[in-house]
Structure 1
């Protein structure tokens, strides 16, 4: 049953990616081991000089911003960037440094696009430092996606899937 459900989910992801108007060319990532030099076109703000590239530590698993409202019902509105994370800025490589050391950022796309790595989720991933590209507007800080090699993307997702599978199998403490 679980295997059938997983196969269905994978098929739906592939169909959705193929039909999405926002589909990007190849996978993208928001957190990188290397200084990003290229940005994904759907996420690139204008003008380019407003982009800050920084070395950061992610302060916890990214949060999905969609959920029930105070009444317990789905809010129904899909935010443009449905994920949020708290980052500790360790160093600014390029651009204007944020005023605070801890920065709340949003990222991701509202379309169902399975070709981007959402962010660090496993203990090993959360223990690392990353480079991010971000910009600030009236609504706060937003991460920019950068192209990622398909093999790196698959490895990132494999690690998350294995961690989640092991976590679900382990008995509650």
Structure 2
């Protein structure tokens, strides 16, 4: 992958394409939405976000299937994809981005610290990405935010209009 995309890069490209973004964040707890909102002009792009730290929020607000959550746990690529789709749908955005994972200090649901799943959702479908980050809790959360922004930028850079077919 080339140089990491910044939130400013994401906002500029999404604005140029006329696309909106919604976030669903677990371990990043709003860091992606905050990074986007820090950029002047973000109001044309950022529809909003959901901090879905607890399983019940993933299920009740984002529509993640309860059976999937029970079987796979919250740290799963399918859960990340469902979160991204849930945010995109609930907030009427063109693109949804989500994070779920284990920031530490200890393993969770049998997943080691640093296991993170991010996802991007468009009208064409959702795609999840698996990451294994090293470092402390803050470092893992920042790396997760940066990975999600890079994936969002990569989706926007495909040159198509993902939200509108």
Provide the TM-score with structure 2 as the length reference: 0.27
Higher strand share: 1
Which structure would you say has the larger Rg? 1
Work out which structure has the larger RCO, using CA pairs closer than 8 Å and 6 or more positions apart in sequence. Answer: 1
Provide the TM-score with structure 1 as the length reference: 0.26
